[in-house]
Amino acid sequence: MPPPLLHSSRPNFPTMNSEYAEFDNKVAIVTGGAQGIGLATATLLAQTGARVAIADIEAEKGETAARQISDA
């Protein structure tokens, strides 16, 4: 069994809840934004002030997701 991980080489990225996550007057394009992680990402970006464009291969689901985010 390998020893436990004591440190990580991954840098500390700001989270969506941090003071760095301000997207006022920014445009975000989220691919695969109709469902799952893409939809969650698009929703969070919109909640933090971004104008969000959703691109998805399933156009009808993308339009539904866009309405859902706009109505929130």
Three-class SS state of 65: helix
pLDDT at 22: 80
pLDDT at 29: 96
| Percent of the chain with pLDDT strictly greater than 90 | 62
If phi over 0 gives left and psi between -120 and 50 gives alpha, with beta otherwise, what is residue 30? beta
> Who has greater pLDDT, 4 or 61?
61
Give pLDDT tens digits for 23-51.
888 999 999 999 999 999 999 999 999 99
- Domain-by-domain residue ranges, the chain? 32-71
pTM score: 0.71
